[in-house]
Each structure stands twice: as C-alpha cells, then as structure tokens.
A and B are shown apart, each in its own frame.
Chain A
Amino acid sequence: MLKESIIDILILISRYAFVLFIFIFLWSGYKAIIFEKENETGEFINKIYMQRFMIVLTHVLAFVILMMTSKDSVQIIEIMKLSAFGLAFIILFMIFTSLIYKKSDPVIWNCILFLMVVGLIMLERIDHDLAKKQIIWFLAGTFVMIFIPLVFKIVPRFEAFKYLYLILGWIFILSPFILGKERYGAYNWIYIGNFAFQPSEIVKFLFIFYLASALRAYHSIKDLILPSSMAGGYVLVLVLQRDLGGALIFFLTFLILVYVRTSSSLLFFGGLGGASLASVLAYKLFSHVQVRVQAWLNPWKEIDTKGYQITQSLFAIGTWGWLGSGLTAGYPKHIPVVESDFIFSAICEEFGNLFSIGIILVFLLIILRGTLIALKSNRIFYSLLAMGAVSLIAIQTFLIIGGVIKMIPLTGVTLPFISYGGSSVIVSIMITGILQWIQSYYATREEVLEYDDSL
C-alpha cells in the first residue's frame, strides 16, 4: 500500500513534468527561430540544447516510471535495457544528423526525435515487444537516411528521372495485388517471409520526386494532363485496395503541389470540388466507405460494432481531462489498434490533453520549418520536393488526429514518427532526410543570397 501510494504520487507529479517538458521544448523552438533571425548564433545553439535536454528528460522520467510500475524483476531489466538503447539512439541520432547533414535544421531534427521518443514510451507502455521492434525501425530509418546525401552527391540531377519514379511507383503500388494479404480490412500490405510492409509508403517517397520533376517544367495546363492522370491512377488503385487514407494523402499532396506550381486557386478549388464529387460517388459505390462515414456520423448507434473503435478512442481522450491519467494509470489497451492508428488517443489518455495539444504544435513546428526550407530554395524542383515532403507529413497527421478525435471520418493511416510500424517510421524519417538535404544543400553552398522568410 505504501509503495503503491508513493508511486501514484510520483505519477501524479510526472503529469505536470511532462507538460512542462513539452512546452519548454516548444518555447525553446520558438525562441531559437527568433534568435536565428537576429543572427544570434550562440543563443540559438543554447535553445537547441535546451530542446535536446527536454527530449532526454522526457525519455528518462518516462522510463523510470515504467520501471517502477513493472511487476517482476526480469521485466524491469528488460525495460532498463530498452531505455538504455533508446538513450543511446537519441544521442547517436543527434550526433550523426549534425555530422552528415551539414548545416541542416536542428529544430526539425529535435522535433522528430521528440515525437519518436514519445512514440517509444507509449509503445513500451502498451507492449514491450513492439517497443523493441520500433527501436529497430528507428535505426533502420536513420541508417537509410544517412545515405541520402551520398546518393544526392553521386546523382546530381534528380529531376531527370521522372519516368523511373513513375514506373517504380506503379510496380510498388500494384504489388499487393500479387503479393498482398488482407490486414485490418485493407489490401495494401505485402508479405515477404515474415516481413510485412506497406508499398504505398514507399510510393509516397517516389510520388513527390515524380511530381516535383514533372511539375518543374510547367508551361501550360497541358503539362498537367499526364501528372493528373498518374495521380488519379494511384488514388484509384488505393481506393480499390481500401486504403482510403493513403488515397487522400496522395490526392491532396498532388493538389497542393499543383497549386504551388501554378498559383491557380481555380485549379485548387476545382480539384477539391472534383474530389468531393468523387467522394460522394465512392460513398455510393463502396460499402467500406459507407461504414467509415456512418461510424463517424453516429458511432453511438452501433457502439459495439462499427462505432467501437472511435468511441473507445473518445473515452480515452475524454475521461482524464487536461493532465491525463498519468503514465501507466490509464487503460489505452482497450482501444483497438492503439499502437498504430490510435496512438494519439493513448497519448491524450495518459499524458493528458495539454500534452497532446503540445504534440500537435510540434508537428506544426516541423511544418513551419519545412516550409522555410521550401522558401529558401531557388530551384523550383527543390521547392516542390520540400513542399511535397512537408505536405505528406502535414496531411497524414491531420487525417489521423482529426480521425481519432472524430472531427473527420476515420481513415486508417499512421501518425508519422509516433505510430508503431516499419514502413511508416522508415519512410517518415526518409522524407525528413530529403527535406534536410535540401536545407543542407543551400546552406553549405551559400547559393541563397536573399530570400524572404516572412510568412
């Protein structure tokens, strides 16, 4: 009883600590941006270190709680090991990214690292084995990302290969029809041995390369015909594979990049209008679309079937209020697929909703810094590529957070950097790699003479 009370008190206090950590993290990020503008390099670096300190504190405090609440001693040692690996990863990630990506944006690195650490904590809380695997995905993603600058160095003109991206993209996106199996009602996974991955994740990567190179040479509306039909094809295939979230991400990214390139609001809103018509059609044609929409409109009506996931998510978010139940004190395992699609609800439950609002702001910080990179570039290919990368992250994050809080119908996509999953983690890290490479390219060559970074 005594030990239980003391642990509970610690958990209660830790709720305030986590909120404090994330808001110091955000505030430091904000101050860093200000100091950067004023060219106060020393102060800028101080703030970056403050952010890193917050990442480490969050990791350490969370794992101390996870160890203390663990039942048996074998488990405690397991968690201790994982915690040490995690810490080592954090530090190595900080070192390697700044070594290999010279003059890249440390705010973005800190943000994705913070998100990955929160994801790791939540996964350890939910299922130790998943957390163990997730660290491997972190390492794999970082490893692949480290090679991006090298590849870029060897192949200097990436815009030349648009047909290669296209063909590879089609091969990947069609592969589930041959190698695929159903998973969570979708047919967008393929299995090679025991290894399952989502080809549409890799296609995302190829897709922004394709769009950036195809849209680069835009002269008239005719130049949009091929990219539009290709994007339309991807979207159609994904809808047939029942990956509605994927279909939306591809379509909206396409629309945004066309808008960036053409500055035509007519095309943008026309595209949105067309998409709305297509959605109505999809609703009429496909029963799985109807199920999603009905579960969104009134989940309470069929709470033990169609509405089960979303209502369980709302219970998790709503029960504990601003500060949450405290780590390990909630019941996130009652939410189906909490480790991937619904991980945000678990964060709301145990870290509280102030913290989860902080998480949304961390994503917004990534988007802000990514947009600045797109603005810095004076080659349209890189600007489009950077905006493509930003859009993939922004749209996917919006779709899944909006879905689990029932603002929009649920489309099963992962929360970038946080959700469990190899394909998702690796591709998210690679997308960040592209973004940082563009930043690094311009910062090291000093090609940017003047750019307007006012938003």
Chain B
Amino acid sequence: MIPYKKSIKKVFWLYALMFCALIGYLLKFLMVDSSSVIVNTYNPRLSALEKNIHRGEIRDRDGEVLARTVENGDRLIREYPKGRDFAHVVGYVQKGKTGVEAYGNFILLEVSDRFIQRVNQVFTGDKLKGNNIILTLDADIQHKARELLKGRKGAIVVMEPSTGKILAMVSYPDFNPNEIDENWAKLNQDEENSPLLNRASQGLYPPGSVYKIVTAAATIENMENWQDFHYRCSGEANFKGNSIRCYNSQAHGEVDLEKAFTVSCNTAFSQLGVDLGGEKMQLISERVLFNRDLPYELEYSKGRFALTRNSEEKEIIETAIGQGKTLVSPLHMAMITSAIANGGILMKPYIIDHVETNYGREKNKQIPQKYDVLFSPEVASQLTEMMVRVVNEGTGSQAKIKNVTVAGKTGTAQNASGEDHAWFVGFAPAEKPEVVVAVIIENGGSGGRIAGPIAKELMQMVINQ
C-alpha cells in the first residue's frame, strides 16, 4: 500500500478522536459542571422564566413550609411562614437572591412534567409550577437555636457528623424576609449590625481557644513523645520579649498536653506552637481547610491562616492559641469538629436533601459523600478523649448532659471590638456522635459559661428527638 494513504487513515482517526473529545467534554459539562454554572446571577434565563412560573416551595425535613409562592391577582408573592427563623439560610428573592433561594433558584423554577402541566393548563388555566426543595434543616431545632441566642449577636451551626446534614443554622441580628422590601434601605445601611450577613457561614472570627484543637492535633501528629510533654504554667510566660497570659492570669501549674487542653492553658499551647514551628502549623491548618474552599454550596467566607515557615515567634505563639491573624467562620469550626466526631473523616456538608416535583415525585436525592480525611482515626480518637475531659472536668463543664458523654472545646477569643467572643464547639454522644454544634456569641465573654449551655440544650434536643 502507498505510504501516504496509511497517513491519511491516521489523520482520519486523529480527527475522529478530536470530535469524540468534543462530545466527551460536552457530556462532562452537562452532567457535572452545568448545574453549578447556570445558577449564576449573570444567566439571564432564570429571571426571564420567573415572570411566568410559580416558584416551587422550600420545606424543612419534616415537610414544614419555609417559603412558598401565593398568587395575589396577577402577581406572584413569595411568603416565608417561619419569618425570621430561616432569614439567612433560606434567604429571600425580593432584592436579589440569597441563601437557598439563590442556590436552588434553577430547581425552584424548573418545571418538571412540563407536558402534563401544560395540558392541565389548557383546561384549568393554572400557572406552571416549579420543583419544591426539601432541606435537611429542622424547623424545631432552628427555632430553638434562634431563641437560645436571645437577641445576642452571634451564630449557631448544628450538623449531623455521620452524614454532613446541616440541621440548623442561625445568625443574629436577623431580619424578617416577608418585610424585606419595606425595610431594605434600613437593613442595607445598618453597618454596625449588618443584619443581612449570615454570620454562621460568612462571619469571620478569631477562634481563640477552640483553635487549640488544631494545635493539639499537630502536636499528636508531629511529636513522637507528646505524652511526655510537660510544661510549668505560672499564668504568664515570656517568649523572647512577648508575653502570653492565661485566662485571668490563672496559673495552671505542671501540665501535660491533655491537662493543658482540658484547662485551656495558653502558655503551654504557645510553647507547643514554638516547638512545632510555623511550617507544620501551616500544613495542618491548610489540611483542615484554612485558606481553602469549603465544601459548601451557599455563601460563605474562607477561613484565614497566616503562619508560614518564615513566621516570627511572636506570631506563632499567638496563632497557636487561636489569636493572631487567624479567622474562621462558625460553619468552618463545625466542619472541623464534625470530622473529629466522625473518626477524622469530613462528610460533605449539605443543606438540600432532595427535590420534589410538582406531582410529588422525588428526585436528585443527595447521598452523603465523604469529602476529605482531616485527621487520622487515631488522632481523632485522641482529640475526642481530650474533648470529653474538657466537658467532664475542664472549662466546658456547663455543657454536661446527664447520662450522655459530651465532647467539647471552649474558646474565649480576644478581639478588637470589645468584650471577648464566647465560643463552644462540641458533639455528643462521644461514643457514637449524633450531633455537632458550633456556637459563637459576639462579645459574650467566657466561652464555657456563655456558649457552653446553648450547645448543651441543642445537643440534648437532637439526641432526644
């Protein structure tokens, strides 16, 4: 055979391959990427659909309606029967879209069984109806969480560690989504309280002592003889001219890692930070998702962490106890805690459980997915053990529940805005965790005293359900 004809055949197969690649890429785009692409606010198609389609309902996991559309003459009005309870997480549609209303926009406007609906329309004149969204949130827990905030600035996240389901997410100050049009100017201009901000996922706070979970994990992983670590705490310590003090300058005396964790001893943890060095701290912090995208679909802010191999000692000693430049959202802390509760594995947090068509057919059921391994099982169980001690005999005693082993960590974070922020993260039962709670009360004072009892109430409620 003439050689150039052989080449012609090869060229044909090259073209065939290129065209198959086109089809393959298109298929991948449609099946994997497109659902998150098309909800972008720059997509003009959705707002065009909105005028003619009866937007679907948003419901909690028991079917309680959180958002619905009612027809008022020719107009379609969006109602939020639970009012302020779900203001941030469900969001609103009147002034731009936020929360689930934004993320699920396409689903809510997508008309399933369009053909039957259209035929039906010929006879009844009904508008086309979009799909309903069923959330993982629970209206009772959500309501309770909001009540527990008692009008204090702060946020709460409740999660199920074994699945990643988010059970509640509240933030205060809040707003009434039914009256957003009337109050828009006021809400939007209130920079002091920023009521529109979802503090649970978008608020960034210094973690204070709850960050000691990460420092402790770094210690267990990197120091072979961490069990022999000893430190004498005199309530204050000097690191090359920079001083670190324990809460109320309390001297904890002779401590090992567990003891230091239980009583939340700052000086001992600063020493651990110095021993570990900036690079190791950076490595583990980035593994637990600082400076990285979180596996979360609604609005959020990334956690920030500043240490590197070149960081100075002053920065290291502050960062090791959760001060310095570290910033984190309550949701992010809930994720870290959830990974510990789940043997080190973070399940991908999610909020949309499934979609239901207008005729009640269930589709797109979310199946729990493993997101990443944040800690080894050994480290996770060590951390759990220490967190149980925090609640049983340490700073977290106010989160104790009768007949249930609770694991937790308190934080009292110094900040520029005044009184310390009160933190608590924890889970229960420690042996077989059913619930993770992360609480922050802005300028609330002591984490153990202020945030601990809130977490306790919520854990108890979930366990008793």
A interface residues, Cβ below 8 angstroms from B: 1-2, 5-6, 8-9, 12, 256, 259-261, 263, 300, 303-304, 308, 311-312, 314-319, 321-322, 330-331, 334, 353, 356-357, 360-361, 363-364, 367-368, 371, 374-375, 380, 383, 387, 390-391, 394, 397-398, 401-402, 405-407, 452, 455
B431 nearest CB across to chain A (Å): 44
Contacting pair B22 A407 (CB below 8 A)? yes
From A311, A316, A319, A405, contact of B22 by CB (8 A): A405
Indicate whether A353 sits within 8 Å of B26 (C-beta atoms), given known contacts A319-B45, A331-B45, A398-B19. Answer: yes
Chain B residues near A311 (CB, 8 Å)? 37, 40, 42
Give A210 to B23 CA distance when docked, in angstroms: 33
Give A397 to B23 CA distance when docked, in angstroms: 13
Q: Is B51 an interface residue (CB 8 A)?
A: no
Contacting pair B122 A315 (CB below 8 A)? no
Contacting pair A455 B40 (CB below 8 A)? no
Contacting pair B13 A315 (CB below 8 A)? no
Q: Is B18 an interface residue (CB 8 A)?
A: yes
Q: Is B1 an interface residue (CB 8 A)?
A: yes
Contacting pair B4 A304 (CB below 8 A)? no
Contacting pair A375 B9 (CB below 8 A)? yes
Indicate whether A387 sits within 8 Å of B8 (C-beta atoms), given known contacts A6-B122, A360-B19. Answer: yes
A260 nearest CB across to chain B (Å): 5
Chain B residues near A356 (CB, 8 Å)? 26
Chain B residues near A357 (CB, 8 Å)? 23, 26-27
Give the contact-size bracket for chain B: 35 or more
Tell me the B148-178 residues at the A interface (CB within 8 Å).
none
Contacting pair A383 B5 (CB below 8 A)? yes
Chain A residues near B3 (CB, 8 Å)? 263
Q: Shortest 4 CB-CB distances between A and B: which pairs?
A: A318-B34, A315-B43, A371-B12, A407-B25
Contacting pair A322 B40 (CB below 8 A)? no
Contacting pair A405 B45 (CB below 8 A)? no
Chain B residues near A402 (CB, 8 Å)? 21-22, 25
Contacting pair B25 A380 (CB below 8 A)? no
A384 nearest CB across to chain B (Å): 8
A178 nearest CB across to chain B (Å): 36
B7 nearest CB across to chain A (Å): 5
A50 nearest CB across to chain B (Å): 23
Chain A residues near B5 (CB, 8 Å)? 375, 383, 452
Chain A residues near B44 (CB, 8 Å)? 315, 331, 334
Q: Is B416 an interface residue (CB 8 A)?
A: no
Indicate whether A455 sits within 8 Å of B19 (C-beta atoms), given known contacts A315-B42, A322-B30. Answer: no
Q: Is B185 an interface residue (CB 8 A)?
A: no
Proximity string of chain B (398-416) to chain A, C-beta cutoff 8 Å, 1 when within and 0 when not? 0000000000000000000
- Chain A residue at minimal CB-CB distance from B3: A263
Chain A residues near B106 (CB, 8 Å)? 319
Contacting pair A353 B125 (CB below 8 A)? no
Proximity string of chain B (81-121) to chain A, C-beta cutoff 8 Å, 1 when within and 0 when not? 00000000000000000000000001000000011001101
Contacting pair B43 A319 (CB below 8 A)? yes
Contacting pair A315 B40 (CB below 8 A)? yes
Indicate whether A12 sits within 8 Å of B122 (C-beta atoms), given known contacts A256-B11, A360-B19. Answer: no
Give A24 to B27 CA distance when docked, in angstroms: 21
Indicate whether A8 sits within 8 Å of B118 (C-beta atoms), given known contacts A402-B22, A405-B29. Answer: yes
Chain B residues near A394 (CB, 8 Å)? 15, 18-19
Given contacts A9-B119, A407-B22, 5 further A-B contacts (CB under 8 A): A259-B11, A260-B11, A311-B42, A319-B106, A397-B19
- Chain A residue at minimal CB-CB distance from B10: A259
Give A316 to B19 CA distance when docked, in angstroms: 21
Contacting pair B30 A330 (CB below 8 A)? no
Chain A residues near B46 (CB, 8 Å)? 319
Contacting pair B12 A455 (CB below 8 A)? yes
Contacting pair B122 A2 (CB below 8 A)? yes
Give A311 to B37 CA distance when docked, in angstroms: 9
Give A397 to B18 CA distance when docked, in angstroms: 10
Contacting pair A371 B9 (CB below 8 A)? yes
Contacting pair A398 B115 (CB below 8 A)? no
- Chain B residue at minimal CB-CB distance from A353: B30
28 CB-based A-B contacts, threshold 8 Å: A1-B121, A1-B125, A5-B122, A9-B118, A9-B122, A12-B118, A308-B42, A311-B37, A314-B38, A315-B40, A317-B30, A318-B33, A318-B37, A319-B46, A321-B34, A331-B45, A353-B26, A357-B26, A364-B16, A371-B8, A374-B8, A383-B4, A383-B5, A387-B11, A390-B15, A394-B19, A401-B22, A407-B22
- Chain B residue at minimal CB-CB distance from A387: B8
Chain A residues near B1 (CB, 8 Å)? 452
From B6, B15, B34, contact of A263 by CB (8 A): B6
Give A353 to B23 CA distance when docked, in angstroms: 10
Give A26 to B6 CA distance when docked, in angstroms: 27
Chain B residues near A353 (CB, 8 Å)? 26, 30
Chain A residues near B23 (CB, 8 Å)? 357, 360-361
- Chain B residue at minimal CB-CB distance from A322: B30
Give A380 to B7 CA distance when docked, in angstroms: 12
Contacting pair A368 B37 (CB below 8 A)? no
Contacting pair B8 A260 (CB below 8 A)? yes
Contacting pair B15 A367 (CB below 8 A)? yes
- Of B5, B114, B115, the most chain A CB neighbours within 10 A belong to B5
Contacting pair A315 B38 (CB below 8 A)? yes
Give A8 to B21 CA distance when docked, in angstroms: 34
From A9, A314, A334, A455, contact of B29 by CB (8 A): A314
- Of B8, B37, B106, B121, the most chain A CB neighbours within 10 A belong to B8
Contacting pair A315 B45 (CB below 8 A)? yes
Give A364 to B23 CA distance when docked, in angstroms: 11
Chain A residues near B115 (CB, 8 Å)? 9, 12
Contacting pair A368 B19 (CB below 8 A)? no
Indicate whether A318 sits within 8 Å of B29 (C-beta atoms), given known contacts A303-B40, A331-B44. Answer: yes
Give A397 to B25 CA distance when docked, in angstroms: 15
- Of A311, A318, A391, A407, the most chain B CB neighbours within 10 A belong to A318
- Chain A residue at minimal CB-CB distance from B6: A263
A404 nearest CB across to chain B (Å): 10
Give A330 to B43 CA distance when docked, in angstroms: 12
- Chain A residue at minimal CB-CB distance from B30: A353
Chain B residues near A331 (CB, 8 Å)? 44-45, 48
A26 nearest CB across to chain B (Å): 13
A183 nearest CB across to chain B (Å): 25
Give A317 to B28 CA distance when docked, in angstroms: 12
A251 nearest CB across to chain B (Å): 15
Give A314 to B115 CA distance when docked, in angstroms: 26
Chain B residues near A303 (CB, 8 Å)? 40, 42
Contacting pair B8 A407 (CB below 8 A)? no
Give A387 to B4 CA distance when docked, in angstroms: 11
Give A52 to B163 CA distance when docked, in angstroms: 56
Chain A residues near B12 (CB, 8 Å)? 367-368, 371, 455
Chain B residues near A363 (CB, 8 Å)? 19
Contacting pair A330 B45 (CB below 8 A)? yes
Chain B residues near A256 (CB, 8 Å)? 11
B124 nearest CB across to chain A (Å): 10
Contacting pair A317 B34 (CB below 8 A)? yes
Give A322 to B31 CA distance when docked, in angstroms: 10
Give A391 to B18 CA distance when docked, in angstroms: 12
Give A367 to B15 CA distance when docked, in angstroms: 8
Chain A residues near B35 (CB, 8 Å)? 318
B22 nearest CB across to chain A (Å): 5
Contacting pair A260 B4 (CB below 8 A)? yes
Chain B residues near A308 (CB, 8 Å)? 42
Chain A residues near B40 (CB, 8 Å)? 300, 303, 311, 315
Give A316 to B42 CA distance when docked, in angstroms: 11
- Chain B residue at minimal CB-CB distance from A260: B7
Proximity string of chain B (47-91) to chain A, C-beta cutoff 8 Å, 1 when within and 0 when not? 010000000000000000000000000000000000000000000
A320 nearest CB across to chain B (Å): 8
From A316, A368, A405, contact of B25 by CB (8 A): A405
Give A8 to B3 CA distance when docked, in angstroms: 57
Indicate whether A263 sits within 8 Å of B7 (C-beta atoms), given known contacts A304-B42, A315-B43, A322-B30. Answer: yes
